[in-house]
A and B are shown apart, each in its own frame.
Chain A
């Protein structure tokens, strides 16, 4: 399946612009003949920092749910074969480069480029991101709400002969539903609610409560900026002294995207205003 061209800034041409909320949105296409304008089936790639390939976008809405700073909104694109609405990046300058949308997009139509890399030649930045985003492609297509790949067999050998047999038998016929869609939808809903209930953005910073932190490292995995470190602490219990690891947020790289606060199983992470 197609995904957004990682080097579109060098291989595509700027063909048009569209009004955003404060700044115009750049539209890219292979050449001027492969862009037909809104209302046709040729839409090209929209946006620069937040680039969405509208020819791939299926309007699943995952990016709108995931974005902590509400960059996206819907735009009507009648007559497009993939979907008749698209997620337009109206508030592109607000992007905090958390890449949450990139990860949740079921068809890999989104590419985020750091604004700093755009002026100084897009080449090195694009190839770097190509590596970053390559791994989860396949699994995300199967499971649109998954944040990580569940196909762990990609990374190691696993004797799953018998489980494969079970799946073969079960795939032969359609069995009644047990309500699996509900769990997936609830996950999306909960994530949106949690992100909405927290202050977020450039002016905020995540803060770990050491009393609550259990050192599970979940937040470390979730941070897209390597902005969380695990630090050893010497602690005292009633009868013994022991060492325990706690998460520490690195202030200069934290973008206030709230993903770690959602991931924390003990609510040890809160969002605080930067002083």
Chain B
């Protein structure tokens, strides 16, 4: 059954996209109602599917810990005094970003219809995402503010200006890597930077290309990964080494996945001589590591 779906011929479909398409085709018409009303809803996105992908495939060498981005986001929202409704992936489906950009419009429309119905049923006022792609898809392609009157926020915007305090366990130099979807597409450059500046002991430096001139991770919408996309990523990672950073922070699980894949690949083949001696992390993971112990 799954092999007869009309996948595009030219774009490879990794396992997790096959799973998402499979998920999209399942009809779920029963109404759903959250246990109690919430103002905020948190949408984790397809991080769990990405974990399965990384475990399954030999080509994607990223770390299978994307689910920790969602866990970290929930923890930070709780820390900021927000009790979000978790838009559980058992009830919701993937936002369909990759399917839209790859041209699988039929799949995207199915996902959109399902998620719109569920969002309406959930009764939330604001939806916040830790994924820049989900954020753009909800805000622009679903057009939630105009269709359902739900405000869409990236988690950095939700956490911004709430008087949060973080303390790094040791002095650290970090740089922020702007995801295309959050930066150039949605114009949000300041919220993540403001959050990083709240961390006591973390010095933020800018990479050579930053904000609207930031370099991409190269694997937009999981279209393809080849030598050209790897060259873009290597250039970006080289900029990190040039800036002398300890951690590169991303605002999108996909950036995290692709950068981590590249870093791991370099570490597996040290004879090739490309080496970047720093960590790639999602901003949410970093902030959780800098949470102050509540005494």
Q: For the complex, give the distance between the alpha carbons of A19 and B235 in Å.
A: 63
Given the complex, which residues of B lie within 8 Å of A33, measured CB to CB? Answer: none
Given the complex, which residues of A lie within 8 Å of B65, measured CB to CB? Answer: 163, 167
Query: What band does the interface of chain A fall in when counting residues whose beta carbon is under 8 Å from B?
Result: 35 or more
- Return the CB mask of B1-18 against A: 1 if under 8 Å, else 0: 111100101001111101
- Give the shortest distance, in Å, between A4 (CB) and chain B (any CB): 23
Q: Are A156 and B267 in contact (CB under 8 A)?
A: yes
| Set B4, B52, B88: member contacting A178, Cβ < 8 A | B88
- Give the shortest distance, in Å, between B222 (CB) and chain A (any CB): 10
Q: What are 23 A-B pairs with beta-carbon distances under 8 A?
A: A143-B64, A159-B277, A160-B279, A163-B63, A166-B289, A167-B65, A167-B68, A170-B72, A176-B86, A179-B88, A179-B91, A180-B89, A183-B16, A183-B49, A183-B51, A186-B22, A190-B18, A197-B1, A198-B3, A218-B59, A265-B12, A265-B14, A267-B7
Q: Are A162 and B286 in contact (CB under 8 A)?
A: yes
A179's nearest neighbour on chain B, judged by CB, is B89
Given the complex, which residues of A lie within 8 Å of B7, measured CB to CB? Answer: 266-267
A274 within 8 A of B: no
B104 within 8 A of A: no
Q: For the complex, give the distance between the alpha carbons of A160 and B291 in Å.
A: 18
Interface residues of B, Cβ cutoff 8 Å to A: 1-4, 7, 9, 12-16, 18-19, 22-23, 44, 47-49, 51-52, 54-59, 61, 63-65, 67-68, 70-72, 74-75, 86, 88-91, 169, 172, 247, 264, 267-268, 270, 277-279, 281, 285-286, 288-289, 291
Q: Are A162 and B88 in contact (CB under 8 A)?
A: no
Q: For the complex, give the distance between the alpha carbons of A57 and B133 in Å.
A: 42
Q: A160-B279, A218-B58, A267-B3 are in contact. Are A184 and B12 (CB under 8 A)?
A: no
Given the complex, which residues of A lie within 8 Å of B18, measured CB to CB? Answer: 190
Given the complex, which residues of A lie within 8 Å of B67, measured CB to CB? Answer: 178, 180
Given the complex, which residues of A lie within 8 Å of B288, measured CB to CB? Answer: 166, 169-170
- Give the shortest distance, in Å, between B78 (CB) and chain A (any CB): 8
Q: Are A182 and B278 in contact (CB under 8 A)?
A: no
B78's nearest neighbour on chain A, judged by CB, is A175
A238 within 8 A of B: no
Q: A170-B72, A170-B288, A190-B22 are in contact. Are A184 and B63 (CB under 8 A)?
A: no
Q: Are B89 and A178 in contact (CB under 8 A)?
A: yes
Q: For the complex, give the distance between the alpha carbons of A143 and B172 in Å.
A: 33
Q: Which 4 A-B pairs have the closest CB atoms?
A: A179-B89, A150-B64, A265-B12, A221-B58
Q: For the complex, give the distance between the alpha carbons of A159 and B241 in Å.
A: 14
- Give the shortest distance, in Å, between A159 (CB) and chain B (any CB): 6
